[in-house]
Amino acid sequence: MPSRTTSEFTLDPPDAERLANLNGPLDGHLRMIELRLGVEIANRGNVYRVIGPPPVVGQAETLLRDLWREAAEATLDESTIHLALTHADADEKVNDDIEPQEVAIRVKRGMIRGRGPNQARYLHAIATHDINFGIGPAGTGKTFLAVASAVEALNETRVQRLVLVRPAVEAGEKLGFLPGDLSQKVDPYLRPLYDALYEMLGVEKVVKLLEKNVIEVAPLAYMRGRTLNDAYVILDEAQNTTIEQMKMFLTRIGYGSTAVVTGDLTQVDLPRHQKSGLKDALDVLRNVDGISFTFFEAKDVVRHPLVARIVSAYDARDERTPEPGG
């Protein structure tokens, strides 16, 4: 039987509301940590006891202390605990070839920081490059962090407007004729971007900025012939661009602008014979100075823990199965 040890420590200063925030409803946050790390956690007020294998007990104590500090500033929920656990995994190796700067973004919902080394590198890259690619599976925060960075740039008047772009490609379903004006036709495709904006700025402010054209939504097809100066441009779902569309988009960037291109190469909805513009850009631009590429993996998923397992299962299947087409 493996050896077990006990660590007892106090989280100061005593604060009943902060303790409830840390422990979660019915101590649900503590149960998540117990299940993930294989330890037992008990507390009496702000005195905690952790029992388990020696290396993991120290890890659990460090995690609880970190969450205690965070509980003073923000409301903790299951996603917060999941992210903290992912970041604290004992077997996680951090690539230290760059030192990501601490990027903290203040928006309506509070402070947003990169969770884990990949998100930290992503925010660092966006802060230091004019064109950035975030590539990886759904749920890794690619679009959310890009929108957060854009909102910060807009709030600090580093850019004059925010342009949200998405290719209007249906995800395996034919939606048929969509009534309404251009904005109403494109809205369904841009809903994830709207959701992120609403969360950070509030619905009323987003509506006002849309009316003033400070925030602009545009289908990719309508970008041809434009030059975007002093703008923050986000191209979402870029795996569904053609090679020509990607080249056209990247050459729209003007002075004082930042572009972020996000996509998931495992979810291409183009016809099978057509190569993704995102995949082609990765091949062509990988070594071009001034362009950053951040690659996310299943372990970076920040949604329900099952999502990471689902992504990993599909990745394993795809490695065994030859990819159809280009």
Residue 66 counted as domain residue: yes
Q: Within 10 Å of residue 136's Cβ, how many Cβ atoms?
A: 23
**Strand spans (E) along the chain:** 5-10, 40-44, 47-52, 104-107, 110-113, 131-135, 161-166, 215-219, 231-235, 258-263, 291-295
Task: Tell whether 66 and 146 lie within a shared domain.
Answer: no
Task: Tell whether 72 and 109 lie within a shared domain.
Answer: no
pLDDT at position 1 is 47
What is the SS3 assignment for 131?
A: strand
Task: Tell whether 55 and 152 lie within a shared domain.
Answer: no
The residue among 25, 59, 88 that closes a domain is: 88
Task: Tell whether 120 and 48 lie within a shared domain.
Answer: no
The residue among 88, 118, 143 that closes a domain is: 88
Residue 246 counted as domain residue: yes
Task: Tell whether 150 and 66 lie within a shared domain.
Answer: no
Is the pTM for the entire model greater than 0.75? no
Task: Tell whether 59 and 108 lie within a shared domain.
Answer: no
Task: List per-block mean pLDDT (blocks of 10 residues) for the chain, which spans 326 residues.
Answer: 80 89 89 82 90 87 90 83 68 40 58 74 86 89 88 86 79 47 61 81 90 87 81 92 92 88 88 89 89 86 70 75 54
Looking up residue 155, the CATH number of its domain turns out to be 3.40.50.300
What is the SS3 assignment for 324?
A: coil
Residue 97 counted as domain residue: no
pLDDT at position 19 is 92
Task: Tell whether 44 and 181 lie within a shared domain.
Answer: no
Residue 99 counted as domain residue: no
Residue 96 counted as domain residue: no
Task: Tell whether 132 and 220 lie within a shared domain.
Answer: yes
pLDDT at position 141 is 84
Task: Tell whether 119 and 53 lie within a shared domain.
Answer: no
The residue among 88, 119, 137 that closes a domain is: 88
* Number of domains within the chain: 2
Alpha carbon distance 76, 69 (integer Å): 11
| Best CA proximity match to 193, nearest among 243, 136, 244, 232 | 232
- 243, 275 Cβ separation under 8 angstroms: yes
Alpha carbon distance 145, 258 (integer Å): 14
Task: Tell whether 148 and 83 lie within a shared domain.
Answer: no
Task: Tell whether 15 and 164 lie within a shared domain.
Answer: no
Alpha carbon distance 215, 233 (integer Å): 10
Q: Omega of the bond prior to 53 within 30 degrees of 0, cis?
A: no
Residue 79 counted as domain residue: yes
| Best CA proximity match to 107, nearest among 56, 144, 58, 65 | 144
pLDDT at position 189 is 65
Residue 93 counted as domain residue: no
**Domain range for 205:** 104-320
Task: Tell whether 79 and 111 lie within a shared domain.
Answer: no
Residue 94 counted as domain residue: no
Looking up residue 63, the CATH number of its domain turns out to be 3.30.1370.10
Alpha carbon distance 1, 14 (integer Å): 37
Alpha carbon distance 210, 233 (integer Å): 15
pLDDT at position 277 is 93
pLDDT at position 179 is 55
Structure tokens of 139?
Answer: 């749920």
pLDDT at position 77 is 85
- 232, 154 Cβ separation under 8 angstroms: yes
79 Cβ partners below 8 Å, 6+ apart? 302, 303
